Amino acid sequence: MPRSVRTFLPVVGDPTSLARAFDGDPQRWLPAARQEGPSRWRIKAHAGSLSRPVMVTIGPPWRASRTYWRTVSWDPVDPQDGAPTALDRFLPTLDGELGLHLRRGGPATLVLDARYQPPGGALGEAVDALALSRVARGTVERFLEDVAARLAAEALLVAPAGPNGERSAARDLPEHDGARTVHT
């Protein structure tokens, strides 16, 4: 049975510049991304002190009301050649949507609404329910934190220059206090 995880995190920066960066090249805001194809990148997914390479696919942007969206999926791959291995049958894939919500008068919020299938059949589902769901939650929270940091940095680069040639940044936005996750 697929599991759902929804994580959100405020992002510091000018909302217009954040949206422009989010609509741009994902390699500029994916953490330590290495492009492997037209819409595929290899990154490291972190679970605590462990990391595992995953192949991430990012879809084209679309907008629904005040939220900019992109599909996102990842599959664990072999660290050496990037191909799936027998070990990967024990690691979950992820499929979902990554969004940037622009709230009037407040900070932008990065959202990940995703689903994963615990590996290992019924036994894997039981282990996931007892313990591994916390690992999955931590992994997507870390991913979102890394994307938020890179997106904020990229937004500074794409922000329009001020009258003195300097880039503007929304310095009065509150700092985030960590990711918020809903896990079902």
For residue 114, being part of any structural domain is answered with no
Q: State the Cα angle at 148 between 144 and 153, rounded to 5°.
A: 155
Q: Looking at the chain, how many residues does it have?
A: 184
pLDDT digits (tens, 9 = 90+) for 56-68: 999 999 999 999 9
Reported as a single tens digit per residue, the pLDDT across 166-178 is 544 433 333 334 4
At 10 the three-state DSSP class reads strand
What are the pLDDT digits (tens) for 24-61?
999 999 999 999 999 999 999 887 777 888 999 999 99
Q: Is residue 1 part of a domain?
A: no
CB atoms within 10 A of CB 175: 7
The verdict on residue 148 lying in a domain is yes
CB 56, CB 46: distance < 8 Å: no
Range of the domain at 176: 6-106+119-183
Quick check: is 111 in a domain?
no
Residue at 113 is within a domain: no
Domain count, the chain: 1
**pLDDT score recorded for residue 183:** 43
Amino acid at position 62, single letter: W
pLDDT digits (tens, 9 = 90+) for 74-118: 988 877 665 555 544 446 788 999 999 998 888 899 999 999 776
Give dist(CA 114, CA 182) in Å, integer: 11
Scan for tokens 């992002």, then name that residue.
Answer: 11
| pTM > 0.75: yes or no | yes
Nearest-10 Cα torsion for 8, 147, 69, 182:
-20
Q: How far apart are the first and last CA of the chain?
A: 11
Closest by CA to 18, choosing from 163, 161, 150, 176, is 150
Question: What local confidence, expressed as pLDDT, does residue 104 receive?
Answer: 84
Which of 24 and 120 is assigned the larger pLDDT?
24
Is residue 66 included in any domain, yes or no?
Answer: yes
